[in-house]
Structure 1
Amino acid sequence: MAALVVAGVNQAIAAEPIKVGAVLSLTGGAAPLGEPEAQTLQMMVDETNKAGGLLGRRVALIQFDDGSDPGKANGFVKRLIEDEKVDMLIGGTTTGATMAMYSLVERAEIPFISLGGARVIVDPVKKWLFKVSHDDRMASERALQDMAGRGYKSIALLADTTGYGQSSRKETLAVAGKYGVSIIADETFNVKDTDVTAQLAKIKNNPAVQALFVSSFGQGPIVVAKGMAQLGMTLPHYEGHGSASQEYLNLTGAASEGVRMPSPAVIVAQVLPDSDPQKALSAEYAKAFEARFKTPPSTFGAYARDAWLLWVNAVTRAGSTDKAKVRDALENTKDFPDTSGIVTMSPQDHLGIDSSGLKMVQIKNGGWTLAK
């Protein structure tokens, strides 16, 4: 598979380009996440080059599609490091892809910003690896807090077998008791399964279950929503932050009506109060994305936007593309606003945000709204 090189729009910028490598999931089960990430990175490259580049140099994006297969991600990052000699890496649409790539990244000593969701990406801290999205523990806690507030004390957990799904399951089991919630049904499925009605039937037939929490992403939550509709399940349905995409709405239709989930601000930016620190920049990104691609934005594209701007900020502060200097600058990011929160990193924290930027959203009439 050939690499896609996005050269940007201003060819007049002098000097050798700065090379950014990206491995994303443009096909396969994680494509609903990877496609808006790739579109956003293309948009950010063009905006950066149109504004004069970075440190007076054009920026080039070299991008590969891992097909939602972590094994392929490992091979592509090897090519980006050894053949393309990139200065920076963004990607790993999924946790599995991120973790599969990291050993090569660490050996090559290249700054790497992951778009994956699981806590394991940055806990324990890994020297060259950073992350932009809220982690699965934060998402689980936000969902559990909402469940408890609505009186759901006995719930079912349905997790896929990916790195993210199992990490989210682990984190949910670990923190449920903090909110007085008990997991009384615990089911799993393969993210490539096209039918999960067997697992859903078990949950449906347990009269003590008050709500369902799904730990998955991409195609997995779509299959679950359709399975619930097929079985006529009316159980309150929660998703993690891996489902906050337009694709989820498009492919589930009426089956996802009423679903609640934690999400960053982008998909509900227009209805946030003006005082919300994420409103203005989230709305700005959403407007630019929709104008260019003629489709509503997703949180996953916003993660790519945040990763890009964190890197640009680090390079600018470092005054160099030297990999060690950029890594240090990333680690010393302070009070940097993005669509998920206000980022302050440290040697002990390569995420740098808390859960305050997560909103509880609900699907109503086929669209996103703030949950009440």
Structure 2
Amino acid sequence: MKKVLGMSLCAFAAACLLSVPSVRAENIKVGALLAVTGPASFLGGPEARTMEMLVEQVNAKGGINGNKVELLVKDTAGNPEKAISLAKQLLEEDNVLAVLGPSSSGETMSVKKIFEDAKTPLISCAAAEVIVNPLASWVFKTPQNDSFAAVKIFMEMNKLGIEKIAVLVDNSGFGKAGKEQLLKIAPDYKIEVVEAEVYDAKATDLSAVVAKIKANPAVQGVINWSIVPAQSIVVKNIRQAGWQVPIFQSHGFGNIKYVEAAGAAAE
């Protein structure tokens, strides 16, 4: 499994932004708020390199209307508070035309109002539906909505005859937003959530959480909705407990490192 979708869509968004005609006589400044380091670096690192590559290609062809594009990448390290500080820096000190990122949903929500108030475009690389719902005037995102992923999971559960499930989410912005969508949509597909737990994104062992939901004999399937490495631990702990319950992952699992971390349990 490869984390191609999010990265390629962010690249597409960057390309679209860089193709907008400009009448400026100086460099066109485009900011980027990305988790180049920290727990979300598996997202921010490739995003940063992709954007840098695109800018290099555009400038090699003469820029936009003869103006070079200047990409200002700010490393948020996946920290919402740092994202707020860097967003203000890009807007107030660097005077950027627009900003790409942040990498995660929590960071994006922390800076959303800042860009709405500044009337400056923000194109997020994160997936949470709350980023654009309710509709924002200046904030956009490239990945699919959480609700799309939830619907596909529930459709597959219907095919398998699964009616009662447990929902596990991490305590990140992505996890919180995903839980809201899962609980909201489940009844539409005649699926009952009989267990719902939130786990620490920094956890190194989640056997206690697994034991709690496993103790409920009604559970026929588990949705593990997360964007952090701890989601691989959930999968391992479930299989280590000898529980062969069907596990459904969100689109936040689409990274080969997570599959490798889960090992044989990811099969």
TM range (shorter): 0.7 to 0.9
Aligned partners of 2:59 and 2:69 also within 8 Å: yes
Paired AA for residue 81 in structure 1: L
**What is the CA deviation profile of residues 105-153 of structure 1, one whole-angstrom value per residue up to 9, with x for unaligned ones?**
1222211111111111111111110111111111111111111111111
1:334 corresponding residue in structure 2: none
Distance 1:237 1:125, change over 3 A: same
In the alignment, which residue of structure 1 is the partner of 2:193?
A: 183
Q: Which residue does 2:111 correspond to in 1?
A: 101
What is the alpha-carbon distance in structure 2 between the residues aligned to residue 46 and residue 252 of structure 1? 37
CA contact (8 A) 1:147 1:153 kept: yes
- Distance between the aligned counterparts of 1:150 and 1:28, measured in 2? 38
Q: 1:141 aligns with which of 136, 142, 151?
A: 151
Alignment pair present for 1:48 and 2:80: no
| SS of alignment partner, residue 249 of structure 1 | helix
The answer for the alignment partner of 1:244 in structure 2 is 254
User: What displacement does 1:15 show?
Assistant: 5.1
2:231 is the counterpart of 1:231: no
Cα deviation for residue 229 of structure 1 reads: 3.5
Residue number in structure 2 paired with 1:215: 225
Residue ranges of structure 2 left out of the alignment (5+ in a row): 1-23
Letter in 1 for 2:98: M
Offset at residue 78 of structure 1 (A): 0.9
2:140 alignment partner, SS class: strand
In 1, are the aligned partners of 2:112 and 2:131 still within 8 Å (CA)?
Answer: no
What is the rounded CA distance, in whole Å, between the counterparts of 1:188 and 1:27 in structure 2?
Answer: 25
How many angstroms does 1:22 deviate by? 0.8
**Displacement, 1:253?**
2.5
Aligned positions, number: 244
Partner residue of 2:69? 59
User: 1:127 and 2:137 equivalent?
Assistant: yes
Q: In the TM superposition, what is the alpha-carbon distance from 1:48 to its structure 2 partner?
A: 2.0
2:170 maps to 160
Give, in whole Å, the separation in 2 of the partners of 1:60 and 1:233: 52
2:17 corresponds in structure 1 to none
Query: Normalising by structure 2, what TM-score?
Result: 0.86
**What RMSD in Å do the two structures reach over aligned CA positions?**
1.7
Q: How many Å apart are 1:85 and its aligned residue?
A: 1.3
Contact 1:33 1:245 in 2 (8 A): no
Q: Where does 1:1-372 land on structure 2 (aligned, <5 Å)? A: 16-257=26-267
Cα offset, 1:215, TM superposition: 1.5
Please state whether the residue corresponding to 1:113 is helix, strand or coil. Answer: strand
The one-letter code sitting in structure 2 at the alignment partner of 1:166 is K
Paired position in structure 2 for 1:287: none
In the alignment, the residues of structure 2 paired with residue 128 and residue 227 of structure 1 have an alpha-carbon distance, to the nearest angstrom, of 42
Q: Is the 8 A contact 2:166 2:195 kept in 1?
A: yes
Distance in 2, matches of 1:228 and 1:39, equals 36
> For the residues of structure 2 that align with 1:53 and 1:174, how far apart are their CA atoms?
46
Deviation sequence 1:181-239 (CA, Å, 0-9, x none): 11111111121222221111112222221111011103232232232243233211111
> What secondary structure, in the 3-state scheme, does the structure 1 residue paired with 2:186 have?
helix
Deviation at 1:29, TM superposition (A): 2.4
8 Å contact from structure 2 (residues 37, 78) kept in 1: yes
> Secondary structure of the residue that 1:166 maps to in structure 2?
helix
CA contact (8 A) 1:29 1:192 kept: no
1:195, 1:28 → 2: CA distance?
Answer: 20
1:43-64 CA distance string (max 9 Å, x none)? 2222222333223221121111
One-letter amino acid of the counterpart of residue 93, structure 1: S
Deviations 1:36-90 (Å, cap 9, x if unpaired)? Answer: 2222212222222233322322112111121111111001111111121111101
What's the secondary structure of 1:93's corresponding residue? coil
State the SS of the aligned residue for 1:157: strand
Identity within the alignment, %: 37
TM (norm. structure 1) is 0.62
